[in-house]
A and B are shown apart, each in its own frame.
Chain A
Amino acid sequence: MTLSRITPYLQASPLALILLAFLVLPIATIVMVSFWDYDSIQIFPAFVFTNYEETISSPVTWNTYLNTLKYTVIVWGLTLFIGFWVAYYLAFHIRSATMQMVLFLVCTVPFLTSNIIRMISWIPFLGRNGLLNQTFMAMGLIHQPLEFLLFSDFAVVLAMVHLYTLFMVTPIFNTLMRIDRALIEAARDAGANGWQILTNVIIPLAKPGIAIGSIFVVTLVMGDFITVRFMSGGQSASVGLMMSNQIALLQYPAAAANAVILLVIVLLLVAAILRIVNIRKEL
């Protein structure tokens, strides 16, 4: 009897220990180091607020945070639109379960391949001599290659949508599949047209999935640095990129202060999403 009582604790302990060691402890370290002091060669224990003061008082920080939020809003809007309709198509227009599974896998497979290679793969498309420019020039639409395609905000947003839409598709598809088809029949019998069914039945019931997808996309974009660095060619800034630059300069306390601020903002955004939509019953 006693053994079966402690069984769940034994089973849960590896997960708990790993998360304590590699999630809780590191974040506690970040918070601690954010109060430390540093010079050009090392960091040392202290209790100073200068890291936060310097971060908050710098206009560069504010611009960077605003720029990151701008990416977040644009990418969120695009991934939500694309993700919803792809999930809707799979859930309601594909009738055979096998076909549904196959098409869903087609959408999921790129998620399991390397993000970096998927970013690199835009170069031959968007570059100055890339496929898009060559096509447009051949069609006579433009006479000069378009310069804004690669290494620009446009490229950053495009790559992020490319990388992160799947995080929207999967949870929305999940909730759509669970909608009782009788509800839709009932709405139609009650005289609702397709648009009314969508806005009054399907979207309200899909809200938990939309919320989960939004949390994924918002947190991924807010913390992103590699897409911004690579696709903007170093011309745009994001919070993650600012942090990774500080890390490269060994300014760990400054990076840590930034990390704490970023974490607080991300948690506030997630809390805001959770206030609007209750996802508990999804889990």
Chain B
Amino acid sequence: MDGERRGPGFWVLTVFFVLFVLFLYGPLSTIFILSFQGPNGGLTFPMNGSSVHWFRNLLFEQQAVGDFGGAFTRSLLLGLMTMAATVVVSLLAGLAFRRRFLGSGPLFYLAIASLIVPSILISLGIGLAFQVLGLNPAWYSSGFGAHLTWTLPFGLLIMFAVFNRFNPAYEEAARDLGATPWQTFVHVVLPIILPSLIGVGLFGFTLSYDEFARTLMTAGSFNTLPLEIYGMTTNVTTPVLYALGTVTTGFSLAIILLALVTIAVLRRRRARRLVT
């Protein structure tokens, strides 16, 4: 901002930013370190030796409470379902909103309302609606719907951002060359927006995988992973809790990395294709 010279403001804000990043990542890194506590270690520092005891305990031993494997499987499946539905539904809605249609205003406000209404209301509302209708809530029905009310608005907003910047000249060119609407979509529109769709998918998966409040009353009789972890916080007092935290955070980070790498590869491939 100050041309070549860096003013004092820059250094003050750099320190501020570094502190902010430490604030974001510091606590997470402590539970990462503490999950490698020795077998006699406790929930706080100092480290009492170091081992993978608690990971082994988490993965291979029967826990006194909870069903980690089952909860993880349910969360994974639910995340994948939410991801697929979020990508498809937001893409379709994003395409719809490129044109004016009757009710587009109310539908838009409804989607925004879905972001604003507190999670516990969605949870309570869906739980009650299922009860009144005489249906049994389950993670794959009521829980799935509850997660979609959180992921779809994000997906829709990303699609808005994408289509606001989308140059319609590409589609016109395809049409002029005789492509059908379907061919235009598959061969022109889809490849261009594919990186953004992966972003939508990433949001859909991770937001669902980590969602707690919306699942609370909608999961039915089987817990998802965040519910399971929350249950563990009240009655597990060993570092196995941190081991679980490390494993699931590592899983989230791996998913994020996978999505980012895929996006980067797609971008690069497209850039190369444009050159040749």
Contact = CB atoms under 8 A, between A and B. Distances in A.
Chains A and B come from one and the same complex: yes
Interface in B43-99: 43-45, 85, 88-90, 92-93, 95-97, 99
Contacts of A107: 20-21, 24
Nearest to A92: B1
A226 interface: yes
A194 B156 CA distance: 37
Interface stretch (B105-113, B170-178, B190-198): B105-113
Given A93-B1, A117-B31, A26 B126 contact: yes
Contacts of A224: 118
Given A8-B96, A18-B148, A114-B248, A29 B101 contact: no
Size range of the chain A interface in the assembly? 35 or more
B149 A247 contact: no
Interface in A229-283: 230, 240, 243-244, 247, 252, 255-256, 259, 262-263, 266-267, 270, 283
B125 to A, nearest CB: 3
Nearest to B245: A117
Contacts of B20: 82, 86, 107, 165
Nearest to A5: B101
Contacts of A200: none
Interface string A117-153: 1101111110101110010000000000000000000
B120 A223 contact: yes
Interface stretch (A9-17, A50-58, A59-67): A9-17
A89 B6 CA distance: 13
B152 A18 contact: yes
B90 A15 contact: yes
Interface of A: 4, 7-9, 11-12, 14-16, 18-19, 21-27, 29-30, 32-33, 82, 85-86, 88-90, 92-93, 103, 105-107, 109-110, 112-118, 120-125, 127, 129-131, 134, 162, 165, 184, 194, 215-216, 219-220, 222-226, 230, 240, 243-244, 247, 252, 255-256, 259, 262-263, 266-267, 270, 283
